[in-house]
Amino acid sequence: DAKTTQPPSMDCAEGRAANLPCNHSTISGNEYVYWYRQIHSQGPQYIIHGLKNNETNEMASLIITEDRKSSTLILPHATLRDTAVYYCIVSGYNDMRFGAGTRLTVKP
Amino acid sequence: SAVISQKPSRDICQRGTSLTIQCQVDSQVTMMFWYRQQPGQSLTLIATANQGSEATYESGFVIDKFPISRPNLTFSTLTVSNLSPEDSSIYLCSVGRPGREKLFFGSGTQLSVL
């Protein structure tokens, strides 16, 4: 079973930051938080992942709370092409299970 | 990184038949995963296929319905047997080491069963 809870949908204005929350209150000490997105019916695209420290790459930033029970994915300047379903995943070493995800709609 | 070639990209099949989906990776990988995505739904893990061992199936998925082969470190097949309209989904393969690195996904196989 998925170990994450995400809002089913969110809207964001183009050019603004998109902040996508995720709750993972049962996360274990050796489990990572991953974010993927899926545009239409394409294969999921990796965004970022982290264990306990905040992470940043060319696509996004990942903020993980100190107790690791929740995290936020930040897309700093959302564009229309960022409209997708975003999945927050808690993963151990054996498999990766997807939750329901958040459908982000970026509006002009 | 890994580049995954998944074939076919789509197919339309008659009920009662079977479809075999191929997943070819451009590098050797230990762990390979097969997922199903039903219309409008999230991805559901079908099984984990590690080279040299039998595939491990998730609850609700059985080997008779979804036989998997993993003959080497770059290739795997998933067969969806005795097709029914309920099997109409996108099937995706994925490779990587969860918890250590990112998983890479194929582009998926869109299966429609009439």
CB distance A96–B92 less than 8 Å? no
CB distance B98–A91 less than 8 Å? yes
* CA separation, residue A87 to residues A38, A49, B14, B44, B58 (Å): 8, 11, 33, 12, 20
CB distance A41–B44 less than 8 Å? no
CB distance A30–B99 less than 8 Å? yes
Per-residue pLDDT of chain B (114 residues), as tens digits, is: 789 999 999 999 999 999 999 999 999 998 899 999 999 999 999 999 988 888 999 999 999 999 999 999 999 999 999 999 999 999 999 998 888 788 999 999 999 999
Alpha-carbon gap: A16 to the closest alpha carbon of chain B (Å): 27
Interface membership of B88 toward A (CB under 8 Å): no
Which value, in Å, is the radius of gyration of the alpha carbons in chain A? 13
* CA separation, residue B86 to residues A24, A41, B69, B93, B110 (Å): 31, 18, 23, 20, 13
Which of A46, A93, A99 lies at the smallest CB-CB distance from B42?
Answer: A99
DSSP class of A74: E
Specify the long-range contacts of residues B70-74, CB closer than 8 Å, at least 24 apart: B70/B32, B73/B28, B73/B29, B73/B30, B74/B24, B74/B25, B74/B26, B74/B27, B74/B28, B74/B29
User: What is the rounded distance in angstroms from the CA atom of residue A9 to the CA atom of residue A20?
Assistant: 10
CB distance B108–A49 less than 8 Å? no
User: What is the rounded distance in angstroms from the CA atom of residue A105 to the CA atom of residue B13?
Assistant: 34
Which residues in chain B touch residue A102, judged by CB atoms under 8 angstroms apart?
A: none
Residue A57, strand partner residues? none
User: What is the rounded distance in angstroms from the CA atom of residue B5 to the CA atom of residue A56?
Assistant: 29
Interface membership of B92 toward A (CB under 8 Å): yes
Per-residue pLDDT of chain A (108 residues), as tens digits, is: 558 999 999 999 999 999 999 999 999 888 999 999 999 878 999 999 999 989 999 999 999 999 999 999 999 999 999 999 999 999 888 888 898 999 999 999
| Interface probe, candidates A35, A48, A94, A102, chain B, greatest B C-beta count within 10 A | A94
DSSP for A1-18, please give it.
----B--SEEEEETTS-E
